[in-house]
Structure 1
Amino acid sequence: MTDTLRRGYAPSPFGQLHYVECGAGEPVLLLHQTPRSWTEYLDVLPLVGTAHRAIAMDTLGFGASAKPTGPHSIELFADAAGALVDALGLERFHLVGHHTGGVIAVELAARYQDRVASVLLSATPFIDDEKRRTAAERKPVDHVVPKADGSHLLELWNRRRGFYEEGQEAALNRFMVDALTVLDRVEEGHEAVRRYGMDQRLPDITARTLAVCAPGDHYSLPGLAKFAAALGCETRVLSGGHVPVPEQLPEEFAKVVLEWTARG
């Protein structure tokens, strides 16, 4: 199915932004987690593309998109995503964000109220005063110190291995490629999430919103109730999976996207 995918670069004030798209129709912009790239949606894109113009971008600083020299922030990521939206001429679009991508989707939905048709927040962390206050106490997620014997590669692999089942090593390989591409700044996306003033932006979201999470993703699962309380939105627990659920259950993930976007 990957032969239906179309790659492109869009100009922006930050440099070129890389994206991959599939299909035609009302656009759906898919935003990935840290430190991934569009390949998180490799198997989801063709399925969503059966009914939409499905677009998965590489977040600024990740994948094949431009690498800024300044500090990362959710606001900066959203600036770049907004630049892509404008460059592609997306007048009205749906948003899908997974983990960090969901946090970026919150900021975009707060900014582009009239242009966002719907929002799907997948395994999105809920950032409030408590999360920001304790950010400095949290252990690094993906940071490893490069070593001459290459043992840091196994360390990085093992940090994520528990999220993947046996037989899902191809997806874990894609994670490794993405993480190694930004190894010198691999942790900054997580740090940007923990600093973000999400709770102050949620009241500005006017689009109908659905929050979903895999049952094994204990990092983000508690956030469903918090999003429901803050937004009055619907929530759903998927049938299985962990942190990389778009790769583990692409058919179910795409079905949820298609059902939610069609409800408008």
Structure 2
Amino acid sequence: MTSYGYCPTVHGQLHYAESGAGPAVLLLHQTPRSHDEYRDVLPILAGAGFRAIAMDTRGFGRSAAPPAAATIEDYADGVTALLDALGLDRVHLVGHHTGGVVAVEVAARWPDRVDRLVLSSTPYLDAEARAARAGRPPIDDGPLSPDGAHLAQLWQRRQAFYPAGRPDLLARFVRDALAASSLEDGHRAVSRYRMEERLPAVRARTLLIGADADPYAFVDLERMRAALPAAACVVLAGGGVPLPDQMPAEFAAAVLGFLPTPNAEELA
């Protein structure tokens, strides 16, 4: 059973969903999603003996907004604020897309707080990537229309990157997008992040998950492997941009295949 809660922090109220008991696994979503991205993953991880927690990153879902022009570092501050509020010194950390970039920063800045690290469809960001993204038009945002046409445009902007015949996934995306404090702040934060300077500081054992039908991130998988040569790697065939909610069983199996099996003392 999944439960929901708020944690008061110096950054405002942070919202999360959790299921199960045991070693903690914290899951970070992509922009502009929420904990709902992991709705179907949480009970699978819980059933395997983990306390699975999916937070709403600052400014998304039901969490308080970060400062204007938020950075990846701002989002990472929210992660550790939630850990502190929940009394968690150390967790397994899982991030998808933007959540993977935030997870890199958390693992680099607070290596003693991350046991194992899972980076799903995480873009590789260096000077070349930042330059390429600098002039890119907005991914999700657009001008408001008096007749509400911008709502259909939000759907249409993402439709090509979602599997055919799964309007339910797009509906979940749109619900989250409408709740976000900004549709683009997360994307802009990713585009400014100096990942190549932070990856050498990552000490956690790492798994890279690639989704071969994800045109945004799959092209960066080999560069991530080169930057993290000791990392394990799994490719999920047919997985796209919405991988965790598109293929929750396969996604959870990849994560569970990498995490250490909880022992009896941890489950007590």
TM-score normalized by structure 1? 0.95
1:8 pairs with 2:5: yes
Contact 2:234/2:254 (<8 A) preserved: no
1:20-39 paired onto structure 2 within 5 Å? 20-39=17-36
1:252 pairs with 2:250: yes
Contact 2:121/2:211 (<8 A) preserved: yes
1:17 pairs with 2:14: yes
Deviation at 1:230, TM superposition (A): 1.1
Residues 207-249 of structure 1, C-alpha deviation per residue, up to 9 Å, x if partnerless? 0111111111121112211111111112221022210011111
Q: 1:40 aligns with which of 34, 37, 40?
A: 37
Q: 2:83 aligns with which of 69, 82, 85?
A: 85
Deviation at 1:42, TM superposition (A): 0.7
Question: Structure 1: how far apart are the matches of 2:178 and 2:113?
Answer: 35
1:198 pairs with 2:195: yes
Q: What is the one-letter code of the residue matched to 2:113?
A: R
Question: Structure 2: how far apart are the matches of 1:198 and 1:68?
Answer: 21
Three-state SS of the structure 2 residue aligned to 1:142 is coil
Q: How many residues align?
A: 260
Q: What is the one-letter code of the residue matched to 1:121?
A: L
Deviation at 1:263, TM superposition (A): 6.9
**Partner residue of 2:205?**
208
Structure 1 segments (4+ residues) deviating >3 Å: none
| Unaligned ranges ≥5, structure 1 | none
Q: 1:185 aligns with which of 177, 182, 188?
A: 182
Three-state SS of the structure 1 residue aligned to 2:234 is strand
Three-state SS of the structure 2 residue aligned to 1:178 is helix
**Partner residue of 2:126?**
128
Three-state SS of the structure 1 residue aligned to 2:26 is strand
**Partner residue of 2:114?**
116
Deviation at 1:163, TM superposition (A): 2.2
| Unaligned ranges ≥5, structure 2 | 263-268
Three-state SS of the structure 2 residue aligned to 1:30 is strand
Deviation at 1:261, TM superposition (A): 0.9
Q: 2:95 aligns with which of 89, 94, 97?
A: 97
Deviation at 1:139, TM superposition (A): 2.2
**Partner residue of 2:218?**
221
Contact 2:37/2:244 (<8 A) preserved: yes
Contact 2:163/2:240 (<8 A) preserved: no
1:158 pairs with 2:156: yes
Q: 1:175 aligns with which of 162, 173, 184?
A: 173
Question: Structure 2: how far apart are the matches of 1:80 and 1:114?
Answer: 17
Identity %: 52
**Partner residue of 2:266?**
none
Q: What is the one-letter code of the residue matched to 1:99?
A: H
**Partner residue of 2:145?**
147
Residues 35-44 or 216-225, more deviating? 216-225
**Partner residue of 1:59?**
57
Question: Structure 2: how far apart are the matches of 1:128 and 1:165?
Answer: 29
Question: Structure 2: how far apart are the matches of 1:231 and 1:125?
Answer: 13
Question: Structure 2: how far apart are the matches of 1:19 and 1:34?
Answer: 16
Question: Structure 1: how far apart are the matches of 2:256 and 2:186?
Answer: 28
Three-state SS of the structure 2 residue aligned to 1:29 is strand
Question: Structure 2: how far apart are the matches of 1:9 and 1:46?
Answer: 20
**Partner residue of 2:238?**
240
